[in-house]
Amino acid sequence: MDRHTEKIRKRYDRVSKVYDFLEKPMEKSKFSKWRDMAIEKLEGKVLEVGVGTGKNLDYYPKDLNVTGIDFSSKMLGKARKKAKLLNKNITLIQMDAQKMDFDDNTFDSVYTSCVFCSVPDPIKGLKEIRRVCKNGGKIIMMEHVRSEKKVLGTLMDIFNPLAVNSYGANINRRTVENLKKAGFDNIKVTDLWLDIVKLIEIKNEK
């Protein structure tokens, strides 16, 4: 793991203590509905990248075969506690999304929620998703990105260093552009909140 990745990983180890508490208001008002909607689209053998404290675990159907990875052992520790109580078909592994241990074409679907704001080298991570997802497989992402509105986008650029240093997440990532740079096309984007929170659906064609 390079030094920058290690720095962000440690930041999430620290944030793990307060993550669920800080996210609670947004979770109740908006995210729970969006998670439901995104998870409904998953099928077959599923990989969740950046599983964090396990906020999606409640929403997975009992029979869905899910593997979740995260590079932060402390975030993953919280997810493991939740998974134990759920009795679902979920395997959790500590792994860097930028260099996954899975073989090519392992998964039918890949899911991320609020992850590609923080993966240190997003294009590397997205290329890995492309590799481990089967040809014709589904990639479903719920991600916040930089607004393309002039004032809002500029404010997000100005405040980005503060967000990265405190939380580990960038608020000005251009994830749809990064997906194209990683080799994806066939990308369907739906705005969930302003032009900032997006549901992204991709058919993996390679």
Ligand X SMILES: C[S@@+](CC[C@H](N)C(=O)[O-])C[C@H]1O[C@@H](n2cnc3c(N)ncnc32)[C@H](O)[C@@H]1O
Measured from the CB atom, the residue of 22 and 154 that comes closer to ligand X is 22
Measured from the CB atom, the residue of 26 and 186 that comes closer to ligand X is 26
Q: Report the nearest approach of ligand X to the CB of residue 71 (Å).
A: 4
DSSP string over 157-190? HHHHHHHHHHHS--S---HHHHHHHTT---EEEE
**Structure-token pair, residue 84:** 């134990």
Nearest to 75 by CA among 93, 102, 100: 93
Distance from the Cα of residue 47 to its chain's centroid = 10
Measured from the CB atom, the residue of 31 and 184 that comes closer to ligand X is 31
Q: Report the nearest approach of ligand X to the CB of residue 50 (Å).
A: 3
Q: Report the nearest approach of ligand X to the CB of residue 150 (Å).
A: 26
Q: Report the nearest approach of ligand X to the CB of residue 136 (Å).
A: 25
Which residue's C-beta sits nearest to ligand X?
52
Measured from the CB atom, the residue of 96 and 108 that comes closer to ligand X is 96
Q: Alpha-carbon distance 93 to 195, whole Å?
A: 33
Binding site for ligand X (CB under 6 A): 12, 50-52, 55, 69-72, 75, 96-98, 113-115, 118-119, 125, 169
Measured from the CB atom, the residue of 70 and 108 that comes closer to ligand X is 70
3-state secondary structure 18-57: CHHHHHHHHHHHHHHHHHHHHHCCCCCEEEEECCCCCCCH
Reduced to 3 states (helix: H, G, I; strand: E, B; else coil), residue 8 is helix
Measured from the CB atom, the residue of 142 and 202 that comes closer to ligand X is 142
Q: Report the nearest approach of ligand X to the CB of residue 52 (Å).
A: 2
- Under 8 Å between Cβ of 125 and 181: no
The DSSP bridge pattern shows strands 133-144 and 107-113 to be parallel
Q: Alpha-carbon distance 40 to 59, whole Å?
A: 9
Q: Report the nearest approach of ligand X to the CB of residue 81 (Å).
A: 14
